[in-house]
Chains A and B, each alone.
Chain A
Amino acid sequence: MSFQNGAALAWLIPLAGIIILLYLLKMRRRDVRVPATFLWPARVEEIRANALFQKLRPNWLLFLQLLALALVCFGMARPQTQQKGLTGEITVLVLDSSASMSATDIAPSRFEEAKKLAKEAIQSSRAGDRLALIEAGATPKVIFPLGNDQAKQVRLLDAVKPTDSEGEVGDALRLAAALVGTQDGARIVLLSDGVFEKVTNFTRGKAALVYKSIGDQDDNLSISALGTAETATGRQLFCGIKNHSSKPIDGSLTLYADGEAIASTKVPGIAPNGQWGHTIAAPAGAKVFEAKLTASDMLKSDNYAVSINDPGASLRVLLVSKGNPFLEKALFLDPRVTLDRTTEVPPQEMGGIGGGTYDVVVFDGIEEQPVKARGVITFGSPGPSSPAKATGSAAKPQFLSAEKSDLMRGVDFEGVFIEKQTQVQPTATGKVQAETSAGPLVISSERPDKRQILVTFEPLNSDFPLQVGFPILLANALDFVAGGNSSQALAVKPGQPFSLPWTKEAQLTGPSGTHTLSPTGSTLVIREAKTVGKHALKLGETTKDIYVALKSDRESNIEPAKNLPLGGGEVKATQTPLRFADFWRPLALLALLVLAGEWWLFARRS
């Protein structure tokens, strides 16, 4: 047993001294004249201090008062004993719900085991303990804040489902530290298999960090690659499979083209950490290729991969900017976009048409330069290859009108404040899409080999990024420069949020069920595609196919980590950590009972 506040015991001696002194003090008795005293029993009960400097007589009241004082001082010293248990007085449970937690090496799964541990922790928490639960999925989510409503906590915990996404445990831990890092005696309990990105920039503060490792096997095969390539013999479909375990595993692979099985082959036992590849001729005209792996491994969500062979389905975008978070976020939310950032165009991307790495180059406040990409979006200053020539600049122009085109659909510049607009003179190919009092605002240019859009102001010089029209304009612009309509098929990662320009309700139907989605303004943000497989996104009369595939080498390597470099040191996995159990409450209760007894005795005597 130890004391959290041992100094409180020092109060015992002076306070007990004061009580005893009070018993030694002579009490001034009230004089009362009576007819005769011989009838009165000369009985003096020591219910109060009675005689100064006379010897202390045994007195039950004194004993009870000293006992109550001792119990209070003892309780204030916060005595505690060590017990085994996940929870402390203040505990944040961080529940890893990433794809690797769906591994079935522990029946029924690592995630269910983690939930079971969390449930036990909740149910074993004491009356004054406070618990919070954070789900570490694709984005951290507080399932319930610090509290002690066990029934509610268990109900909320039961509702948590595993995901097939890459977990952001670092963000969840940082959130937990923000919750309790400044509180003494707090504890962050990580229920995970340790399969996540190395966590940096994390300090646990005053909180103790407990890592409960879940999982004991690493048997797993994953589809590590799926794609098409043009070769001399025609278009080939390649599928790569990787063995992440420490023993050979075999299985069977089935390949699909536009939903039709085109090949099925046996996967030989792949050596530990080895890879195996399979190549077949891709059917002409097929756009969506899927691969499904059947193996006796522990994780199923990485046994599926998809490759969409549609120019509109995937765009490699290079953002040339000095930094624009609004633009980056808007581009990132587009499911087709794979984004790179730079401050100046790489030399190999400059020059003529075709042969570049990127499908689209976006110039943000940097003068447009000739690039190989087939699409160019320019904000601010036009260049020699732009569909307009700069003639000057104007401050605070007033929006006048916009064309009714696909590019301007859903975009409203009315009321947008523009600090500075570049005044331009469109070239022969340039088509004015929107206009202000200072001249053309949006100009598009369409040639067989290149499509360009020029927006004659920089987003950061306006409040346009804060308007709902901004991501819509960007989505429309990507559709335009990508070659027309957006693709009907999209490939995303599980749990990865993405957006589409849409103003009405939509329905997403997938392996995990149907979700009804409501737009925010003119944008539909989809976060519900968390399960691997094909989803159907119904947008009015049209339906987009959303293919969700994990394809994460990190999540596929399901070997549980025994030690984690966290919080500036290595955290070892504990089986069942020790906790300090306070027992000041029963002491306080006992002190109350003793005081009640003392009061009863006092009342009885007086």
Chain B
Amino acid sequence: MNLLLDPREFRLLDGLRLNPRKYFQGRVRGERLTKKKGISIEFADYREYTEGDDLRHLDWNVLARLDTPVMRTYQDEEDLALHLLLDVSPSMEFGDPPKLDTAKQLGAAIAYVALNGGDAVFPRALGLRQQTPRPLRGRVGYPRLATWAENLKPPEQTAETLSKALKAFAASSARAGIVLILSDGLDPEAPNAIRALGGRGHEVWLLQLLSDVEMDPDLEGDLRLLDGEGGLPIEITANGMVLKEYRKRLQAHNEQLAEAVRRSGGRYELIVGNKPMEKVLKDVLKRQGWLT
């Protein structure tokens, strides 16, 4: 079985937790402390005793000293929903190594952190018409997640564009939580779809993956460009002016994506080329506070 990460990377991820900017109400008891009072070992506050209270939480020391019954309350612990949205469109096959491989590794790493922290992981492949896997919980769920990710392959033809898939997800009754999007974001409607996700109460984490040739294409001459996502081909004369215009447009598009993510209160990072996984984990996810 390929676990997508090597032992050194697992060790790096152990003890880390997802660090959302928003508060999300959990569905089941987990390991994440919440604002709600509940049962845990983390002391929260005192309150007056009322009839029917569980005497196990009565503070006997206070009662003996003040002759007043006071109840100890504790923080509740819930789980957090991490929606792992992996872009499996044909464009993710570009790059060396392919962007999809990097996306799988990064997704697996963050999912491992979530599962290790008792959060629920909802994996979903964007661009593939397949049944959504069951949510995963606990460290034991990681091998299933790795297997699922490992088996993901881009379709011959795009079944669904990134923006459509994101909008469909936003329209679903998915539980609010962190939406981790691992994609190249190469869809002109992607910023709007991200805004829609934000509107549904999700916190969008976008790791945009682009290869070196996408950042600085090495094209020259008269060309017919075939769209990897199945769009209409266009004819261009690749020269200095055209390349300059391309780079300008790409930068504007990336800025739109980042702006949409920021408005949803999420996190955005552009990862270019074959950046080592360890470097991404340390420099981006840990240092920038994605994981704590």
Binding site for B on A (CB under 8 A): 27, 29-45, 47-48, 50, 604-606
Contact = CB atoms under 8 A, between A and B. Distances in A.
Contacts of B245: 41, 43
A45 B239 contact: yes
B168 interface: no
Contacts of B94: 35
Nearest to A43: B242
Given A29-B223, A33-B226, A606-B220, A39 B186 contact: yes
30 contacts: A27-B222, A30-B222, A30-B223, A30-B224, A31-B233, A32-B219, A32-B225, A34-B217, A35-B91, A35-B186, A36-B186, A37-B225, A37-B226, A37-B233, A39-B186, A39-B249, A39-B250, A41-B249, A42-B234, A42-B235, A42-B236, A43-B237, A43-B242, A44-B222, A45-B239, A47-B222, A47-B237, A605-B241, A606-B220, A606-B237
Contacts of B235: 29, 42, 44
A606 B236 CA distance: 11
Interface string B235-262: 1110111100110011001000000000
B187 A36 contact: yes
B184 interface: yes
A34 B225 contact: yes
Contacts of A29: 222-224, 235
B226 A34 contact: yes
A41 B242 CA distance: 7
Contact of B236 (A27, A33, A41, A604): A41
A38 B246 contact: no
Given A32-B219, A43-B242, A606-B221, A37 B249 contact: no
Given A37-B231, A40-B236, A43-B242, 6 more contacts: A31-B226, A35-B186, A35-B228, A36-B227, A37-B232, A40-B249
A43 B241 contact: yes
A27 B223 CA distance: 10
Contacts of A33: 225-226, 228
B226 A32 contact: yes
Contacts of A47: 222, 237
Contacts of A604: 239-240
B228 A39 contact: no
A37 B222 contact: no
A40 B246 contact: yes
Contacts of B233: 31, 37
A32 B224 contact: yes
Contacts of A32: 219, 223-226
B188 interface: yes
A38 B227 CA distance: 8
Interface in B190-204: none
Interface in B208-230: 214, 217, 219-229
A39 B245 CA distance: 9
Contacts of B240: 604
- Considering residues B94, B187, B236, which has the most beta carbons from chain A within 10 angstroms of its beta carbon? B236
A35 B190 CA distance: 15
B241 to A, nearest CB: 7
Contacts of B228: 33-36
Given A40-B234, A43-B241, A47-B237, A35 B224 contact: no
Contacts of B219: 32
Contacts of B231: 36-38
Contacts of B239: 45, 604-606
A391 B240 CA distance: 109
Nearest to B211: A35
Nearest to A27: B222
A41 B237 CA distance: 10
B184 to A, nearest CB: 6
A48 B219 CA distance: 17
Contacts of A40: 225, 234, 236, 242, 246, 249
Contact of A45 (B184, B220, B237): B237
A44 B222 CA distance: 8
A48 B220 CA distance: 14
Contacts of A48: 222
A38 B232 CA distance: 9
Nearest to B231: A37
Nearest to B186: A36
B91 to A, nearest CB: 4
A60 to B, nearest CB: 14
Interface string B36-77: 000000000000000000000000000000000000000000
Pick from B91, B94, B222, B246 the residue with the most CB of A within 10 Å: B222
A47 to B, nearest CB: 6
B236 A43 contact: yes
Contacts of B250: 39
Contacts of B220: 606
Contact of B246 (A41, A44, A605): A41
A45 B187 CA distance: 26
Contacts of B229: 35-36
A44 B186 contact: no
A39 B188 CA distance: 9
Q: Which 6 A-B pairs have the closest CB atoms?
A: A35-B91, A36-B186, A45-B237, A37-B227, A29-B224, A41-B245
A37 B91 contact: no
A604 B239 CA distance: 8
Nearest to B222: A29
A44 B221 contact: no
Contacts of B184: 35
A44 B242 CA distance: 9
A30 to B, nearest CB: 5
A595 to B, nearest CB: 20
Most buried by A among B219, B239, B253: B239
Nearest to A34: B225
A39 B253 contact: yes
Contacts of B226: 31-34, 37
Contacts of A44: 222, 235-237
